Amino acid sequence: MFKTWLYLLIFLSLPAAAFSARLFPSIAMFEWQGDGIVEKGFRDGLQKFFPDARFYVYNLAGDENLLPYYLKAAKERQHDLYYVSGTDLTRRLLALEKQHTVVFTMVQAPVEEGLIASWRSSENNATGISNSVPLLNQLKALKRIRDFQHLGVLWQPNNPESRQQVDELFRLQPFLHYQLHKINLLEMSDNVVLSPEILSTLDSVYITNAPLFKHVGDKIISQLNEARIPSLTADMTFVTSQGALLGLVPDKYRIGRLAALNAQKALQGFLPEQIPSRSLDFFMVVLNMQTARKIRVQVPFSLLVIADTIIH
Residue 146: per-residue pLDDT: 96
59 Cα distance to chain centroid: 18
Tell me the H-state helices in the chain: 2-13, 37-49, 67-77, 87-96, 135-143, 160-176, 196-201, 213-226, 236-240, 252-267, 289-295, 301-304
Answer whether CATH 3.40.50.2300 is correct for domain 135-249+284-311.
yes
Q: What is the pTM of this model?
A: 0.85
Q: What is the DSSP letter of 298?
A: P
The answer to whether the CB of 88 falls within 8 A of the CB of 30 is no
Per-residue pLDDT at 127: 98
Common-topology check for domains 2-130+252-279 and 135-249+284-311: yes
What is the layout of strands, in order, in the sheet containing 26-31?
54-59, 26-31, 81-85, 102-105, 126-130, 278-279
Strands 102-105 and 246-249: unpaired
Q: What pLDDT is stored for residue 20 in this prediction?
A: 44
Residue 20 makes CB contacts below 8 A (sequence gap 6+) with 267, 268, 269
* Distance, CA of 42 to CA of 83 (rounded, Å): 9
pLDDT in tens, the chain (312 residues): 544 444 444 444 444 444 345 678 999 999 998 899 999 999 999 999 999 999 999 999 989 999 999 999 999 999 999 999 999 999 999 999 999 999 999 999 999 999 999 999 999 999 999 999 999 999 999 999 999 999 999 999 999 899 999 999 999 999 999 999 999 999 886 778 999 999 999 999 999 999 889 889 999 999 999 999 999 999 999 999 999 999 999 999 999 999 999 999 999 999 999 999 999 888 999 999 999 999 999 999 999 999 999 999
CATH no. for 2-130+252-279: 3.40.50.2300
Residue 14 confidence (pLDDT):
42
Say how far apart CA 87 and CA 209 lie, in whole Å: 11
Q: Where are the chain's structural domains?
A: 2-130+252-279, 135-249+284-311
Cα 52 → chain centroid: 27
Q: How many helices (H) and strands (E) does the chain have?
A: 12, 13
What pLDDT shows up at residue 189?
66
